[in-house]
Amino acid sequence: MNRASFLTRVRHALGRSEGDPVAPPPPPAPAELVAPTVAAADPAGVVDHFVARCAANAVELRRAPDVDAAVALAGAWLRELGASAVADASSLAAAALAGSGLTRLAADAADVGVTRAWRGVAETGTVVLRSEDGRSAGLLPPTHLALLATADLRAGLTELYAELAAVGEGGLPAQLVQVTGPSRTADIEVTLVTGVHGPGRVAVLLIG
């Protein structure tokens, strides 16, 4: 069926006739996510909350005071996490990988994938990855190390999405992924198992 016939069916279903549909009135305003466990205006509180949520989600977290320290710490951490690694396209991840001395392998063979995290969300302990940096490093290897700057932490999803909505036409990347902890399933007898198709082990190095 073509677009016109398909959409006409919908229009008729709503009791409207041919012609351009009337622009709808604005939808109800988006709700603030009540239960402001994290005050957006309190940066220290935001970081603490993020750290606590990561712990609750079985995400390992370490901190580095600045980028230089982060590269060094990440390198060392990578050596703990595996024998081979892959980095996403970000310079930060590349530097960390280079500093680790680990064997570079393709994403489908490496032990660890190290990526930059474009944003973090304190409310849920989420890191947000961007397709511009590549998708495979944070997806294929069984362990994922994400590098996140505290300046890129947002209090809640509402704040994150306000930013996304403000980006304007054509400004969103091809893909964003909100990553909250390891890959999981409970499809067998509702028994929780981690590490299904995505990484079973997630680590975050928080910078700043």
Partner 1 sequence: MKVATDRLKEGARAALRDGELRTALDRATGVFLGNRQAAVAAHPGFEALRVQAAAVKAHLLDHLDAYLERLVDALEANGVRVHFAADAAEAQEAIVAIARAAGARTAVKAKSMVAEEIGLNEALAAAGVTPIETDLGEYILQLGDDVPSHIVGPALHWTRERVAALFHERLGTPLDADPAALTAAARRELRDAFLRAELGISGVNFACADSGTLAIVENEGNARLATSLPRVHVALMGLEKLLPRLADLPTFLALLGRSATGQPATSYVSLITGPRRPDDPDGPEEVHVVILDGGRSAVLADPELRDALRCIRCGACLNHCPVYQQIGGHAYGWVYGGPIGAILDPGLLGLERTHELPHASSLCGACGDVCPVRIPIPDLLLAHRRRAVERGLSPAVERLGIGAFAFAAERPGLWRAATDAGRFAAALLERDGRVQGGWVPVLRAWLAERDLDLSPGPSFRERWRRELQAEGRRGDDGDEA
Give least dist CB 120 to partner 1, A.
12
Give least dist CB 68 to partner 1, A.
25
Q: How far is it, in rounded angstroms, from Cα 141 to Cα 207?
A: 23
Q: Does 22 bind partner 1 (CB under 8 A)?
A: yes
| 169-208: contacts with partner 1 (CB under 8 A) | 169-170, 172-191, 193, 195-199
Beta bridge partner(s), residue 60:
203
Task: Calculate the CA 57 to chain-centre distance.
Answer: 14
| 112-131: contacts with partner 1 (CB under 8 A) | 124-126, 131
By CB under 8 A, which span of 5-13, 65-73, 78-86, 91-99 interacts with partner 1? 5-13
Cβ pair 114, 97 in contact under 8 A? yes
By CB under 8 A, which span of 63-71, 93-101, 112-120, 153-161 interacts with partner 1? 153-161
Cβ pair 120, 156 in contact under 8 A? no
Q: How far is it, in rounded angstroms, from Cα 15 to Cα 56?
A: 50
Q: How far is it, in rounded angstroms, from Cα 90 to Cα 83?
A: 21
Task: Calculate the CA 19 to chain-centre distance.
Answer: 42
Q: Which of 102, 119, 120, 133 binds partner 1 (CB under 8 A)?
A: 133
Q: What is the largest CA-CA distance in the chain?
A: 67
Give least dist CB 52 to partner 1, A.
13
Give least dist CB 59 to partner 1, A.
11
Q: Does 101 bind partner 1 (CB under 8 A)?
A: no
Binding mask 55-94 for partner 1 (x = CB under 8 A): ---------------------------------xx-----
By CB under 8 A, which span of 22-30, 40-48, 66-74, 94-102 interacts with partner 1? 22-30
Give least dist CB 73 to partner 1, A.
25
Q: Does 27 bind partner 1 (CB under 8 A)?
A: yes
Give least dist CB 69 to partner 1, A.
27
Alpha-carbon distances of 31 from 36, 124, 159, 180, 195, rounded to whole Å: 12, 17, 12, 22, 34
The position carrying tokens 């060392």 is 76
Which of 183-200 are b and which e, b meaning 16 or more Cβ less than 10 Å from the residue's Cβ?
bbeeeeeeeeeeeeebbb
Nearer to partner 1, 84 or 180 (CB): 180
Q: What is the DSSP letter of 78?
A: H
